[in-house]
Amino acid sequence: MSGRSVLVTGAYGLLGGWLVKALLEGRAGVTVLRRDDAARSALSRMGLEAAVNVVHGDICADGLIARALAEYEVDTVFHLAAQTLVPIANRSPISTFETNIRGTWLLLEACREHGAERVIVASSDKAYGPHRELPYREGHALQPLYPYDVSKAATDLLARSYWHTWRLPVAVTRFANLYGGGDTNSSRLVPEAVAAALAGRSPVVRSDGSPERD
C-alpha cells in the first residue's frame, strides 16, 4: 500500500484501528472519518491520530465523503463504518438502517463519482440469515430476517450493484465475530470473558456451547 491515499470509515472501531496501524506501517497516506469522541478506541490509544488526516462528521452527512475523497485525493477506500450492535438494531432499526444502508450508498456513489480505484466494503456473516445447510458457503443466498442482518445484506447488495452497473472496483468481506487487542466493548463475548478472568470471575457462556465458527 506504499504511496496509496486511503480513506478508512469506521477507523475508531476495533478492526479499523488495527487496519489504520497496518496501513501506516505500509507507508500509505491515511484519512479517517470521526463522528464521536473516541478516547477509548484502539486508534486513539495507539496514538495514531497524529499520523492521519481526520475528517469530522457523520457518514450520512451530504457531501462529506465526496469532500474527503477530493481533498485528500483518495484512491483506496475501506468502508467499515456501521452500527454493529444487534440489541441497538432491534430497539432502533431506523438509525441502524440510516447508518448501515444509507451511509453505504452515499459512500459508494461518492466513490463512483470520484473514480476510486479500489473499494472494500465490510458486510457480515449475518447477511446469510438462517439456512438448513451449514456451514455457510460464499454462494449461499442472502436471506436475513432481523434489522441488523438485513442492513448488512443491503450493504452487500448495494456494493454488488455498483460493480455490475458501473464497474466500480469493489470487494465485499463477510466477517464473523471479530476480536483482538484493544477491544473494550464489554457487550462482546471475548472482552467480557477476558475481563471476567482478570477479575477472578468465571466467564459467562452465552449459549449451550454448540455453535461453531471456522
Q: pTM for this one?
A: 0.90
Evaluate the CA torsion angle 196, 197, 199, 204 in order and state its sign. positive
CB 104 within 8 A of CB 158: yes
148 is catalytic: yes
Q: Which residues contact 207 (CB under 8 A, 6 or more apart)?
A: none
Residues present in the chain in total: 214
Which CATH code is given to the segment(s) 5-183? 3.40.50.720
Locate 72 and state its grid cell. 485528500
Percent over 70 (pLDDT), the chain: 96
pLDDT of 39: 59
Closest to 100 in 3D by CA, of 91, 109, 89, 112: 89
Catalytic residue among 12, 72, 128, 148: 148
CA–CA distance, 75 with 214 (Å, rounded to integer): 33
Domain limits, the chain = 5-183, 186-214
Q: For 42-98, how does the pLDDT look when each residue is reduced to its tens digit (9 = 90+)?
A: 888 888 999 999 999 999 999 999 999 999 999 999 999 999 989 999 999 999 999
| Low-confidence winner among 125-129, 170-174, 177-181 (lowest mean pLDDT) | 177-181
